[in-house]
Structure 1
Amino acid sequence: MKRNVVILLLIALVASASVFAAGTAEQSTAAQKEKTVLEFWTWRPEDVDFYAKQIAKFEMENPDIKVVQTAYKNTEYNTILAASLSGGSGPDVFQGRAYGGLATFADSGFLEPLEQWMPELKNYSPTALLGATSPTDGKIYGSPAVSQTVFMYYNIDVYKKLGLSIPKTWNELIANFEAVSKAGYLALGNGAKDGWTLETMLGGMGPGFYGSTDFYNAVVAGTKNFQDPAFIKMIEKMKSLTKYMPNMYMGIGYDDMRSNFINEVSPHLIAGSYEAAYFRTQNPNLNFGIFAVPGEKATDPAYVSVYADMNFAMNANSKNKDAAVKFLKFLSTKEFGKAVVTEMKMVTSVPGVDASADPFIARVLELQKNATPYLFLVGFRYNQPTGSSLWQAAAQGVMAGTLTPAEAAKQIQDGIASYYKPFQK
C-alpha cells in the first residue's frame, strides 16, 4: 500500500515538472517572439567587432530588441543596398552615404526623414548636417556619424632610421621619396587599379595646387571650371608621382595599397583617417604618423580634404520604426561617439564629444585647421555623371598614359557641364 502511494506521488511530481517545464518553454518561446529584430547593415567588414560590442550594450539596455548586423564590402555595398531597398525590403537601419549618395536614396523614397523622430539632430553642426540633408526637399535623412580627413601616412621608424623630417615643401617631399627609394623601400604605396583611390589621392595631394577652398567655391559658383590651369597643373603633379609608386601600379588595388603600408614595404600612403584603426589591428607594432602634403613653398598652407563620410539612416519601409529610432538614438549618444574616437580612431560627428584626448585624433584635428572640402564628393555627386565618376575615369586615363592632363580636365568639364547650369552660362 505504501509502495503504491509513493509511486503515485512520483507520477504526480513528474507530471507537475513536465507541465512546469512546458510552461517555461512556452514562456521562453513567447519572450523570443516578442523581441523586435532589427536588421543593421554596414559597408565596413573591418568594424564588425566594434559594432558587435556596441550592439551588445544596446541590447542590454533594450532587452526587447535584437539587432542583427550584416557587413558588406564597401565596393559592393551601394549596389546590394539599392537592389534590396528598391525591392521593398532591406535593413531597418544602415550606414548611409552622404551628400549626393544620400540624396539619390532619399529622392527615390527609400529613406525616412528623421527630424520628427530625432529632434536632437538640431544640435549637430551645420557642416555635419549638410552631408545628411537632401538638396531636393531640405529634409534630414541621416544621423551624422563621422567625418574623414585625407592626408599622408608615414612610417615614423623609417623616417628616424634615415634621418628624415616631415616635409614643408613639395620638393622636400620628393627628396624624402628619393631617400626611401635608395634605402630599398617602395616610396609611395598607392596604386591606380581602383578609381576611387585616385579620388583619395586627389584629396590628399591636390588642394595645395588647384587652389583649395577658393577654387572649390569658384567652380561651384561657375566662375571657374575644371580646365583652369591650376587644376591641370595639379593633375600633372599627380602623374609625376607614378615614378615612386609600385611597378605595375595600374594593377595595384586598395587592399594591396594598405598591405604595402601595413607590412612596411612602403613608408608612405595617401589615405583617409578611416585607415588608422585597421592599421593598428593588422600590425600593432606599426609606428605611423600623418602629415598634410605640402605645396610648392614652405609659406603655402598644407591642406587636407575633409568630408562627412557616413550617416545612420532608417529604411522608409521598415516595419519596426519605433525600435529603429531607439537604435538610431543609441548611435547618436555621446557614449557611442566617444567609442568611435577611442576604438575606431575616427572623428565623430556627435556633438559634445571631446576627441582631443586621443593622440591620433588630436593630430587629425590639428591638420584640419587647413581643411578644404573634398572636391568632387562634396560639390559634384548630385547628378549623373557625377564629378567623382568623371574624375576617377579621367585620372585612371592619365595614370595609364592614355589621356593628357589637359584632355582629362576637358573630359571632366564637359561631363559636368552637360547638366550643371553654372557651367552652361
Structure 2
Amino acid sequence: MSALGLTAVLGGCGLTGGSDQVTLKLVAADYGDSAANTSQKYWEKLVKEYEEQHPDVKIDVTVYSWNDVDAKVKEMVDAGQAPDLAQIGAYADYAAKDLLYEADELLSIPVQADFVSQLADAGQVNGVQYGIPFASSTRLLFYNKTLFQKAGLTPPKTWKELAADAEALKAEGVKYPYALPLGAEEAQAETMQWLLSGGGGYTDAETGTYSIDSAENVATFNWLKNNLVGKGLTGPVAPGELNRADAFSAFAAGDVGMLNGHPSLMQMAAKKGVKFGMVPMPGAEGPSKVSMGVADWMMAFKKNGHAEQVGEFLDFVYDKENVLEFSREYDLLPVTNSASTVMTAAKQDADLKPFLEELPLSELYPVGKTSWAAVSADVKQRIGKAVSSGGSPSGILSQLQSTATRAESAE
C-alpha cells in the first residue's frame, strides 16, 4: 500500500437537489502507488454510475493515503463529525463505543450471504458483524527461481528444508537467504505467519483469549533465533531493523532468496524482471495448514442516520462486477464468494489463484478485539529483540502476553 498523501474530494456536489436529497460522506483509503492508479479514480467511476441511478443521493468521497486515513477518521469522529462511511484498517474501537450500524441493519440478505465466511466472521464483535470486509489478501512464501536454480534447490515444505535452502543460498553469496522483516512497519504480520506455521498464533483457537507466550510460539521463535538468525541466514540487516517495504524492494532487486509476500509483490518483482515462484508457508513438519489472511474494512457510522441510503449504496459497492474491478486493479483478493468464483476460473486472474486457494485456510488478526491495536503496536516494538543475539524469545513473548492481558481486561 503506497502512501501518496493525496487528498481528493470526489463527486462532492453537496446538497443541491432540494430538501429530499441526501449526501453521504465516505472516507476511503488509497490503494494506488501513483497518480495513475489512485483509488480516487475507482471511486469516481463508481460514484458517477451510482448517482446516475439514484438522483436523490450524492456521494462525497475523500481519499487519503494509508499513512493518514485511520487518523483522519478518528479526528472526524472525535470532533463529532463522523462520516457516514469509512473504508479503513480497523473497526473494533468504533463498534465498542456503539458508533456503528450492524451489517444486517444495512445490507440486503443476498449481499450479506455473499461474503467469504472467514472475513465476515472477523468483522464480528460478540457475534454481531460491524466490520464489512472490503479487500483481502493472503501470504505465500516467494522464492527467487534464478537463485534457487543456481544453487540446485527445490522450494521448501518444512522449516528444516527452509533452513537448508537458506544455508545453500548463503554459500552462493545471496545477500538475504531468507528476509525476515521484524521491523516496526509490519512485524505483526511476519510474526503471525511464523506463529501459525508452528501450530500457534496470537490467540487460543478454542477460547479466543491471547496465547502469545504459548509453548508452540516460544518454540517457533527459539527455532527462528537459533536456526536462521543465529546462523547468519537472514541478511545484513538485523530482523528488528528490517521493514517489509525494504525486504520487498530487496526481493525485487534480486537480493533475496525467500520471503513471505502478498500479491502486490508479484507486480514489483515482475517489473524488475525477477523470476519467482510461490508456495505455501513451510511448517514445522510440512506445509503450513493455516495461512495468514488480512482484511481492510468498510463501516457505517450511526451519527447522521441515513441507514437506508447507506445500505443501498453498499449493496451497489459489493456488486460482483464492482468487487472484481477493484480486486483486479490492485491485485487484491475479492471479499465475496461470487467474485472469488469468477477469479478462480478466469485466465486473466491465474496469478492470484494460489492466494485465492489460501483464503479458505486463512486466519486473520484478532481484529474484533479493541485490545488488538495495543497488542499489535507492542509486537512491532518488541518482537525483533526476541531473535537478536542476546534476546530471549520466552521473555519477549511473556512481555507481549502481559500487554495483551492488560489490554484485554480493559476492554
- Preserved contact between residue 135 and residue 332 of structure 2 (Cα < 8 Å): yes
* Pairwise CA distance, 1:323: 5.5
Tell me how far apart the structure 2 counterparts of residues 289 and 336 of structure 1 sit (CA, whole Å): 30
Matches of residues 82-97 of structure 1 in structure 2 within 5 Å? 82-97=74-89
**TM-score, length of structure 1 as denominator length:** 0.75
1:264 match? 254
1:71 maps to what in 2? 64
Q: What is the DSSP-based 3-state SS (H/G/I as helix, E as strand, rest coil) of the residue aligned with 1:244?
A: coil
- 1:166 aligns to what? 155
Once the two structures are superposed, what CA deviation does each residue of 1:365-414 show, in whole Å capped at 9, x if it has no partner?
A: 33456x3524xx22784337844344333313213456401112221333
1:335-370, CA deviations, whole angstroms, 9 ceiling, x for partnerless residues? 12222443322221123122213223221233456x
Deviation at 1:334, TM superposition (A): 0.4
Structure 2 residue matching 1:206: 3-state secondary structure: helix
Query: How many Å separate the matches in 1 of 2:336 and 2:170?
Result: 42
Partner amino acid, structure 2, of 1:416: A
1:25 alignment counterpart = none
Q: What is the letter of the counterpart of residue 398 of structure 1?
A: A
Q: Does 1:287 align with 2:275?
A: yes
Q: Residues 419, 51 of structure 1: CA spacing in aligned structure 2 closer, same or farther, 3 A cutoff?
A: closer
> Which residue does 1:361 correspond to in 2?
352
Structure 2 unpaired stretches of 5+:
1-12
Write out per-residue CA displacement over residues 197-247 of structure 1, whole angstroms, 9 at most, x where no aligned residue: 22211232332324469x83156368xx44433221111123343322332
Aligned length: 375
Q: Which residue of 2 aligns with 1:216?
A: 204
Identify the residue that residue 335 of structure 2 maps to in structure 1: 349
Q: C-alpha separation between the residues in 2 aligned to 1:32 and 1:212?
A: 49
Matched, 1:175 2:167: no
- Provide closer, same or farther for how the CA distance between residues 191 and 308 of structure 1 changes in structure 2, counting only shifts above 3 A: closer
Residues 402 and 117 of structure 1: CA distance in aligned 2, closer, same or farther (over 3 Å): same
Return the alpha-carbon distance in structure 2 between the equivalents of residues 216 and 188 of structure 1. 28
User: What do you get for the CA RMSD once the two structures are aligned?
Assistant: 3.4
Equivalent pair of 1:145/1:350 in contact (CA under 8 Å): no
Is 1:42 aligned to residue 32 of structure 2? Answer: no
Q: Relative to 1, partners in 2 of residues 1:187 and 1:324: Cα closer, same or farther, differing over 3 Å?
A: same
Q: How has the CA–CA distance of structure 1 residues 50 and 338 changed in structure 2, closer, same or farther, with 3 Å as cutoff?
A: farther
The offset of 1:333, in angstroms, is 0.9
Distance 1:165 1:50, change over 3 A: farther
CA distance in 1, matches of 2:290, 2:177: 20
Check if 1:316 corresponds to 2:302: yes
Report what 2:39 is aligned to: 51
Matched residues in 2 for 1:92 and 1:379: separation? 21
CA contact (8 A) 2:73 2:86 kept: no
Q: Secondary structure at the match of 2:164?
A: helix
What are the within-5 Å matches in structure 2 for residues 117-266 of structure 1?
117-120=106-109, 121-123=111-113, 124-135=115-126, 138-185=127-174, 186-194=176-184, 197-211=186-200, 216-218=204-206, 220=208, 225-240=211-226, 241-242=228-229, 243-249=232-238, 250-266=240-256
Q: Does 2:322 match 1:332? A: no
Is 1:394 paired with 2:385?
A: no
* 1:373 equivalent among 363, 378, 383: 363
- Going from structure 1 to structure 2, the CA distance change for 1:255 and 1:220 (only over 3 Å counts) comes to same
Q: CA deviation at 1:37?
A: 6.9
Go from structure 1 to structure 2 and tell me whether the alpha carbon gap of 1:413 and 1:40 turns closer, same or farther (over 3 Å shift). Answer: closer
Query: Counterpart of 2:43 in 1: which secondary structure?
Result: helix
* SS of 2:102 mapped into structure 1: coil
C-alpha change, 1:104 and 1:54, in structure 2 (3 Å) is same
2:398 alignment partner in structure 1: 410
Which amino acid letter does the alignment assign opposite residue 119 of structure 1? S
SS at match of 2:205: helix
Q: Deviations over 1:14-34 (max 9, x none)?
A: xxxxxxxxxxxxxxxx99944
Shift of 1:318: 4.5
Moved more, 288-297 or 63-72: 63-72
Q: Structure 1 stretches of 5 or more lacking a match?
A: 1-29
Report the counterpart of residue 9 of structure 1 in structure 2: none
Matching residue of 2:371:
383
Matched-pair contact (CA < 8 Å) for 1:340–1:347: no
Which structure has greater helix proportion? 1
Conserved? CA contact 1:394–1:403, under 8 Å: no
TM-score by length of 2: 0.77
> Would you say the 8 A contact 2:133–2:298 is kept in 1?
yes
